[in-house]
Amino acid sequence: MNRPIRKAVFPVGGLGTRFLPATKAMPKEMLPVVDKPLIQYAVEEARAAGIEEFIFVTGRGKQAIEDHFDRSYELEDVLRERDKRDLLDAINSWMPKAGQVSYTRQMEPLGLGHAVRCAKPLVGDEPFAVLLADDLILAPRACLAQMVDAYNKVGGNIIAAMDVPREHTKRYGIISPGKDNAQLVEVKGLVEKPKPEEAPSTTAVIGRYILQPSVFRHLDYVQRGAGGEIQLTDAMARMIGEVPFHGLRFKGERYDCGDKVGFLHANIAFALAREDMQKDVAAIVREVHKQL
């Protein structure tokens, strides 16, 4: 029996320099896609996968995230007075219950591996999930829920995987594949951001992970890797052979919201997926297309 995945870690300490000036005083995770901040999509995805505890690894200037997952009594009062029931529901329906959320700070920007390591005392000795809010996934079934389904069958570590053009390998962790049934691919090796000519495949890691707690032990030993940062990919690479390890080619569309064009793409795609906006937005897209 595989131990259940109850906790999720959200590394949100990054500076968001690619979105300046928007992110000068606002966390990049609060950028909205249509009308919802990126971080809320990630939290809702985790909840849909059965997660009960939400652990944020934050940094300076990230107060807005804590406020977002807290009650706002003034706002609730005003909405109640104005009888705006639907808006009241919208701000409270996804609110975490008392004690379900915790925050810790990554005091130095030493990379994703370091951020995850900061969560060790809060995660303890149990398998857990990691979600990167930059990777937004539009899917019929939440991506992390698909991964939990796979985990319940094969256990060990599961990472979200997607095939990318070879010229993009330097943006991602890349999998060296073993057995591959098109959906589940065995992870035989992992390398962070390889040059296209050196990449062992074009199957990339997307920002969703289910990890065994032994990853923390490895994170203590990995040296600074790609970009001078402590890489989660390098710690995971040390776990190959130690635990079952698979990539899941999830069903759904992934948008890279760490990138301006990807972020705009996500906004259009999510608006088109919404019944209340579909018609108007489709008309605008057609109109813009005519002008090209």
- Interacting residue with ligand G1P among 144, 187, 206, 271 (CB under 6 A): 206
Indicate whether 192 belongs to the interface with ligand G1P (CB under 6 A): yes
Select 68 or 193, whichever has its Cβ closest to ligand G1P.
Answer: 193
How many residues belong to the site for ligand G1P (CB under 6 A)?
A: 14
Smallest distance from ligand G1P to CB 99, Å:
29
- Which is nearer to ligand G1P, 216 or 281 (by Cβ)? 216
- Dist. CA 75–CA 98, nearest whole Å: 19
Given the complex with ligand G1P, which of 11 and 281 has the nearer CB atom?
A: 11
Which residues ranging from 231 to 260 are in contact with ligand G1P (CB under 6 A)?
A: 231-233, 258
Q: Which stretch binds ligand G1P (CB under 6 A): 29-37, 123-131, 138-146, 198-206?
A: 198-206
CA 57 – CA 116 distance, rounded (Å): 8
Q: Which is nearer to ligand G1P, 79 or 247 (CB)?
A: 247
Q: Is 23 among the residues that bind ligand G1P (CB under 6 A)?
A: no
- Smaller CB separation from ligand G1P, 89 or 167: 167
Contacts of 271 (CB under 8 A, 6+ apart): 34, 277, 278, 281
Q: Does 172 bind ligand G1P (CB under 6 A)?
A: yes
Task: Give the whole-angstrom CA distance, residue 192 versus residue 226.
Answer: 6
Q: How far is the CB of 84 from ligand G1P (least distance, A)?
A: 37
Beta bridge partners of 280: none
State which of residues 41, 135, 185, 248 lies at the interface with ligand G1P (CB under 6 A): 135
Q: Which amino acid is at 15?
A: L
Query: Cβ contacts of residue 117 below 8 Å, gap of 6+?
Result: 216, 219, 220, 230
Residue closer to ligand G1P by CB (options 15, 150) is 15
Q: Which of residues 31-60 bind ligand G1P (CB under 6 A)?
A: none
Q: Angle at the Cα of 129 (from 19 to 262), degrees rounded to 5?
A: 25
Question: Which region among 32-40, 120-128, 205-213, 275-283 touches ligand G1P (by CB under 6 A)?
Answer: 205-213
Please pick, from the candidates 116, 131, 205, 248, the single residue that binds ligand G1P as defined by CB under 6 A: 205
Cβ nearer to ligand G1P, comparing 58 with 231: 231
Cβ–Cβ < 8 Å for 206, 160: yes
Q: Does 112 bind ligand G1P (CB under 6 A)?
A: yes
When asked if residue 204 is in the footprint of ligand G1P (CB under 6 A), the reply is yes
Closest CB 208 distance from ligand G1P, rounded Å: 9
| Contact footprint for ligand G1P (CB under 6 A) | 112, 132, 135, 172-173, 192, 204-207, 231-233, 258
